[in-house]
Amino acid sequence: MGCCEIRDQKKHQNSYTSTSGALKIVNKLRNEALNLSIDYLNRDKNTDIWDKALYAHGIHQNDMKKLAETEKFSIETFESSKYSSDFPILKISFTLDNYVRLITIINAITTYENRHKWDSAIKIMENYIEDPEKLKIIHSVFEYSLYKPEFYEECVTSLFHNSVLIGVQSSKMDFEYSPDTVACITYFSLYFIKEKEGKTCMTVYLHADPKTSLALISKKVVTQKIIKWSENLASYLEKTG
């Protein structure tokens, strides 16, 4: 979805419910979102996620560099982020072989019970805070061979234009980190989920500061890990449905 497709959410919502039905979208994904009481992203309450979602979508395709491409995945980078020029934005695009339930995707990304089944690096993932505004604070710890990154992140799941968005960013609240971990920053992790021709399509933007120079050592290693991460996620979703 290009930047030209982004519209004011209120305007889109009104057109969705209009009698003309010109922009009405009726599919499994939309129905699931309604059944899960997922609302449109609130621009006033979730200003940062709103701005970051628009920013990510607004990156011109010509400014992206192809990092890797497989039969199923396209992985690109953007090197000049306004949030941090030291670490690139990763864009991962893929279409699953079938339609995958929305709740399966949400749980696969945001709960330890499901995430550890496809992401072997995850050691802790817990809802630290969850409030009635559908904002979660997720505490997570990953373990790699040379270091253990730790995150406290805000997570909001919402409708955004014709997608469901799982938007994640570092929490602004103060937390105490474990002495044996590295406190890391998530500028944003944006999971855009769409349904197209009866299949689930996902576009993922990842932008973080891992607080270690190890991430800069080998682009080849980073590429291999991102490809493996993407393959594991897609495989898990297709098998779980």
Assigned domain for 109 exists: yes
Beta-strand relationship, 163-170 and 182-183:
unpaired
- Name the pLDDT band for 146 (thresholds 50, 70, 90): confident
pLDDT digits (tens, 9 = 90+) for 48-91: 999 999 999 999 999 999 999 988 889 999 999 999 988 899 99
**Range 5-34 average pLDDT:** 55
Assigned domain for 7 exists: no
Assigned domain for 37 exists: yes
Q: What is the CATH number of the domain that holds 67?
A: 3.30.530.20
- Nearest of 13, 38, 167, 198 to residue 103 by alpha carbon: 38
- Nearest of 141, 107, 94, 148 to residue 241 by alpha carbon: 107
> What are the tokens at 233?
């996620």
Domain housing 183: 27-240
The pLDDT of residue 135 is: 72
Cα dihedral 232, 238, 239, 240 sign: positive
Assigned domain for 227 exists: yes
Assigned domain for 172 exists: yes
The total number of structural domains in the chain stands at 1
- Name the pLDDT band for 131 (thresholds 50, 70, 90): low
Assigned domain for 21 exists: no
pTM of the model: 0.86
pLDDT digits (tens, 9 = 90+) for 156-211: 999 999 899 999 999 999 999 999 999 999 999 999 999 999 999 999 999 999 88
